[in-house]
Every structure is written in structure tokens, then in C-alpha cells.
Amino acid sequence: MDAIAIFIAKYLYLFVLAALAIFFFLRPRKAWKDMVICGVIVAPLAYVLAKIGSLLYADPRPFVVGHFIPLIAHAADNGFPSDHVLLAGAVAMVVWFFNKKLSAVLWIMALLIGWARVYSGIHHPADIAGSIAFVLIAGAIYALAMKKYRKSSAT
């Protein structure tokens, strides 16, 4: 089980990125612009929210607090939030606006990454929840902004 958790914690986000790339390039070329705009807004916004969150909330990593060796070597820095889950969640959120089924699969992968990073001893569940919250907030801001934009451009 340790080897599976280590693989998921370290590498599953690459499969999430690959799924995004495949989905993107299989879409009609005219749809690319909307996805790029969504990604350029959601991902950086989630990142900025996460950086602000990490300044406001310090969460020493579990192996620092528990004095044990984690399954994955890691710096003993602030664990809040999880960058891996933030990235996978941001991809899942962007895809959500274009394909709900694929997004659901990507969200499951993001949650698996979170589970594996907790299991490996390098994150607390709060670090994972924080990443998900920041992505959801970024997605909600994007959705509200697009709703306002579409409403104003329709009049």
C-alpha cells in the first residue's frame, strides 16, 4: 500500500495534466479560447488565494509534529495548502466548465492525491481541504465574472 500511495502522491498529478492536454487538443479549435481564458483566470486565482492562505495559516507538516520519517522526503516547511491538490483541483475546476463527467474523474484523482499525501505523512487533511476550498472559490469567482460578462455583453 505504501508504494501505491507514494506513486499517487508524487506522480498522479501528471496524469491529471495529461488528461487536460488531451481533452484540450481533442476539442474543436474554436473552443480553445474559452478554455484558455478559464484556465488563465481560475489557476492563478487559486494560486494567489493559496499563497495568501499560507501566509495567514501555518500548519507544520505531520512528520514535523509527529517526529517520524514520512514516506516521501520533504522539506519541513508550512504544509498549508497542498500544492499538488491545488494544481489537480484547478485542472478539475477548469474542465468542469466544459465537461462535467471528465471533471468528476479529475476531482476523484485530486482527492486521491490528497489522500496519498496525507497517508504519506506530508500533509494534514486541513491542507487538502484548504486547497480544495481555494480552487472552489476561484471557480465560483470565475463563474460569477463570466455570468456578469455575458449579461453585460448581451445588452
Q: Which amino acid is at 40?
A: V
CA–CA separation, 73 vs 61, rounded Å?
12
Cα-Cα-Cα-Cα dihedral of 87, 73, 9, 95, to 10°? Answer: 10
Q: What's the pLDDT tens digit per position in 17-36?
A: 999 999 999 999 999 999 99
**Confidence (pLDDT) at 85:** 98
Helix (H, G, I), strand (E, B) or coil at 71: coil
The DSSP-derived string for 68-107 is ---SS---SSB--S-HHHHHHHHHHHHHHTT-HHHHHHHH
Instruction: Return the C-alpha cell found at 58.
Output: 501555518
Q: Which amino acid is at 4?
A: I
For the chain, the farthest-separated pair of C-alpha atoms sits apart, in whole angstroms, at 61
Helix (H, G, I), strand (E, B) or coil at 91: helix
Could you give the number of structural domains in the chain? 1
Instruction: Return the C-alpha cell found at 106.
Output: 479529475
* Average per-residue pLDDT for the chain: 96
pLDDT > 90? residue 91: yes
CA–CA separation, 70 vs 90, rounded Å?
26
Q: What's the pLDDT tens digit per position in 64-90?
A: 999 999 999 999 999 999 999 999 999
Find all residues with CB under 8 Å of 133, minimum gap 6, and list them.
none
The pTM of this model reads: 0.94
CA–CA separation, 117 vs 102, rounded Å?
23
Instruction: Return the C-alpha cell found at 53.
Output: 492562505
Residue 47: domain span: 2-154
Query: 74 vs 20, 70, 120, CA distance in Å?
Result: 27, 8, 10
**Confidence (pLDDT) at 155:** 65
